[in-house]
A and B are shown apart, each in its own frame.
Chain A
Amino acid sequence: DTEVTQTPKHLVMGMTNKKSLKCEQHMGHRAMYWYKQKAKKPPELMFVYSYEKLSINESVPSRFSPECPNSSLLNLHLHALQPEDSALYLCASSPSPGTGGFYGYTFGSGTRLTVV
């Protein structure tokens, strides 16, 4: 299995809702990432998990809450989002922390989030 699977593919939520995005990989990768991508822009890093522990938080607002329950699963919990948070949310993984620059990242197809 060489894929990163993200669910749901599309999500529409109100500003008072609570929802979660899910990311799963079974490649044995020990580094996992959340990225946010606005239309026609490159991905922007949000969080990095290394060996299931949060190692980088790029000053992301607390309305985004990441969680890594085990080495295969990464969640992004969403609460009280704003319309400007509408974007494509991408999950990625690499074999181990610090190896992304050599082996590359495997990205999921993303969750298209719309906040209304």
Chain B
Amino acid sequence: TQLLEQSPQFLSIQEGENLTVYCNSSSVFSSLQWYRQEPGEGPVLLVTVVTGGEVKKLKRLTFQFGDARKDSSLHITAAQPGDTGLYLCAGDPRRGNEKLTFGTGTRLTIIP
């Protein structure tokens, strides 16, 4: 079973600060995704990374896929209260696999 460990598990910071969330595994993934889930809602896809070393930006969010495709990071610049939520990474162990492996989750709270 391929596991995705996220760190930190919980993070509470002031508005305007920067933060990084990590998603690590000992296994290689063909692609990796990040989702954000708000209370009472389903997860919403933020980004998919497929190439080792790939960096993608979504406004104040920067996503990176590790060179060996075993890990990923999410960096948020100048965090805002609207960034609050549960952040989930999810990996596809091999192309064409029918199910994703979800990470353990990072619960982020941005304090106004």
Chain A residues with a Cβ under 8 A of chain B = 4, 31, 33, 40-43, 45, 48, 50, 55-56, 90, 92, 97-98, 100-110, 112
Contacts and interface: CB of A to CB of B under 8 A. Distances in A.
A56 B45 contact: no
Given A101-B31, A102-B50, A50 B40 contact: no
Contacts of A97: 98
Contact of B107 (A40, A90, A105): A40
A101 B47 CA distance: 11
Given A48-B98, A100-B100, A102-B95, 6 more contacts: A33-B99, A42-B88, A97-B98, A103-B48, A105-B43, A110-B42
Nearest to A90: B42
A50 B92 CA distance: 17
Interface string B2-39: 00000000000000000000000000001101010000
5 contacts: A48-B98, A90-B42, A98-B95, A102-B95, A105-B100
Given A42-B104, A42-B105, A112-B40, A102 B98 contact: no
Given A100-B92, A106-B45, A109-B40, A42 B102 contact: yes
Interface of B: 30-31, 33, 35, 40-45, 48, 50, 86, 88, 90-92, 95-100, 102-105, 107
A80 B30 CA distance: 40
Contacts, number: 70
Contacts of A103: 48
B95 A101 contact: yes
A58 to B, nearest CB: 8
Contacts of A104: 33, 35, 45, 48
Contacts of B104: 42
B99 A48 contact: yes
Nearest to A58: B99
Given A42-B102, A48-B99, A102 B42 contact: no
A107 B98 contact: no
Contacts of B44: 107
